[in-house]
Amino acid sequence: MRILIVTDAWFPQINGVVRTLNAVVGHLKSQGHEVLMITPEGRQGFPFPLYREITITRTSSKLIGKEIDLLNPEAIHIATEGTLGWAARRACLHRKLPFTTSFHTMFADYAAARLPLPGVAALGWKILRRFHAPGKAVMVPTKTIGAELQHRRFQNVKIWSRGVDRSVFKPYPRDHLSYARPILLYAGRLAVEKGIEDFLQLKVTGTKVLVGDGPERAGLEAKYPQAVFLGFRHGEDLARTYASADVMVFPSRTDTFGLVMLEAMACGTPIAAFNVPSPVDVVNEGVTGCLDSDLNRAVECSLKLDRREVERASHAFSWERTAEMFFGWLSPIATATQLVE
């Protein structure tokens, strides 16, 4: 099948959306499918004011529609709610082409966290609901997030899980970090919506290590000088960092999945998180991690878990299965011929 994926999130961005799409594209191609991409690459844009790591691409539904006509796909998936996503949505509706969408980020809640004004979250959810309404399937990463969207009157919600690259993320010798133990690790963006101060204020003894970067880094480094900020790490370097940690702390209350949890589990490192959507669907309580309303208790519990069991139980997730689910939810275009406006 000739599959078109439209996404505002793509390299050089480093986030769960990009990593998910990249992994799925690779597996689809290995199965003989032709995957076409419309991304911000090679297009003019500017940073989104509230979230400067996101690029607002300059485009229009007319331009994207012409690209769709030329690419002549047999299925279309719109992955993000950015300018490319909205332009592709309008172009598909104009041409009466079916398409699917995916829900990756709680943008409404993120916007409310960064712009705490009355009605921001409600308006954000209204916009998101409108964007996804025409989709033949709205793919979400977990059952809990799916239930949340259904509660907010989203239609055609389908579960599309996540995976992990086990050629990279696996148990390594635990000598990559040499700080005082226990080593408590956070990995992800250093942004206000991630709950990082809940991590940094933990009373558990040991060393708090942060992997990643973002707009809050300078302020957090100044406020918490005892913590270790490593910046970005990638590939085997990141995997060995996971493996050397005693526990991965996932303090976010708003993430829709959290690939870092899977990656850490595949390296044998247990998860400590709040008992909230995302962790409740990813963490096998008492096996791959511990969830609690008190993050200190969750950490203390996770430190007692068997790392071999953590790694073994993580095999419930795979990119192969993720790609199969994605393909299964696509809505084929009845006649893949070039359409003219």
- Residue 169 has a pLDDT of 98
- Residue 116 has a pLDDT of 74
Amino acid identity, position 159: I
- Residue 52 has a pLDDT of 64
CATH for the stretch 2-163+321-329: 3.40.50.2000
- Residue 308 has a pLDDT of 98
Kindly state the greatest CA–CA separation across the chain: 65
- From the DSSP assignment, how many helices (H) and strands (E) are in the chain? 14, 14
- All residue ranges of the chain with pLDDT < 70 are 49-54, 108, 110-113, 335-341
SS (H, E, C) 39-84: CCCCCCEEEECCEEEEEEECCCHHHHHHHHHHHCCCEEEECCCCHH
Q: Does pTM surpass 0.85?
A: yes
- Residue 119 has a pLDDT of 86
- Residue 281 has a pLDDT of 95
Topology alike, domains 2-163+321-329 and 183-317:
yes
Q: Which CATH architecture has domain 183-317?
A: 3-Layer(aba) Sandwich (3.40)
Q: Where are the domains of the chain?
A: 2-163+321-329, 183-317
The angle formed by the CA atoms of residues 253, 226 and 50, to the nearest 5 degrees, is 40
DSSP label at 234? -
Cβ count within 10 A of residue 267: 28
